[in-house]
Structure 1
Amino acid sequence: MATIEECRAALEKLSDSMGRAEGDVRSAAALDRSVSCHITDLDVTFAGRMSDGRIHVRETLQGPPPQRAEIRLAMSGDDLVALVDGELNFARAWGAGRVKLEAGLMDLFRLRKLL
């Protein structure tokens, strides 16, 4: 089972990748939205903001997110690490219910370019 530190590192790695993106992926990463990532097996939520093409984690909270972020992810720590490392396909994991992504319709259309 992935630790809180490994999950935080995975989010940082994802943020770094988004910051280096170009073209359509760069424009999709340029959203300015509140974001939360609930790690279900650890019952921890990383909350922050997606802006300037990066994810800025501002808080690590026990339990599910207390406020509804504009972009919400939920998954196990192992799945987060595997997704970021390229070992798990997002579309398959989402289709199988291993990863949950909630956002407004227009944000979902833009975010699909990141996936």
Structure 2
Amino acid sequence: MATIEECRAALDQLSDSMSGARGDVRAAAALDRSVSCHITDLDVTFTGRLGGGRIHVYDTHPGPPREKAQIRLAMTGDDLVALVGGELHFARAWGSGRVRLEAGLRDLFHLRKLL
């Protein structure tokens, strides 16, 4: 089982990858939205903001998200690490229910370029 530190490192790695993106992916990463990522097996939530092509994690707290972010993710820590490491394909994980993504319809259209 992935630790909180490994999950945070995976989010940082994802942020670094997004900041170096080009074209449509860069445009999608340039959204300015609140973000939460609930790690279900650890019952911890990372909250922050997607902005300037990066994910900025501002807080980590126990339990589910306290407030409804504009972009909400939920998955196990192992799945987060595997997604960022390229070992798990997002669309398959989302389709099978291993990863939950909730956002407004317009944001989902933009985010599909990242996925």
Cα distance in 2 between the residues matched to 1:18 and 1:33: 15
**Shift in Å at residue 89 of structure 1?**
0.3
Which residue of 2 is the match for residue 8 of structure 1? 8
SS at match of 1:55: strand
Question: Distance in 1 between the 2:18 and 2:11 partners?
Answer: 10
Q: Deviations over 1:72-101 (max 9, x none)?
A: 000000000000000000000000000000
Task: Please identify runs of 4+ aligned residues in structure 1 that moved more than 4 A.
Answer: none
Return the TM-score normalized by structure 2. Answer: 1.00
In the alignment, does 2:59 pair up with 1:59?
yes
Within 5 Å, give how 1:15-94 maps onto structure 2.
Answer: 15-94=15-94
Alignment TM-score, normalising by the size of structure 1: 1.00
Residue 110 (structure 2) pairs with residue 106 (structure 1):
no
Deviations 1:55-74 (A, max 9, x none): 00000010000000000000
> Runs of 5+ in structure 1 lacking a partner?
none
Shift in Å, 1:31: 0.3
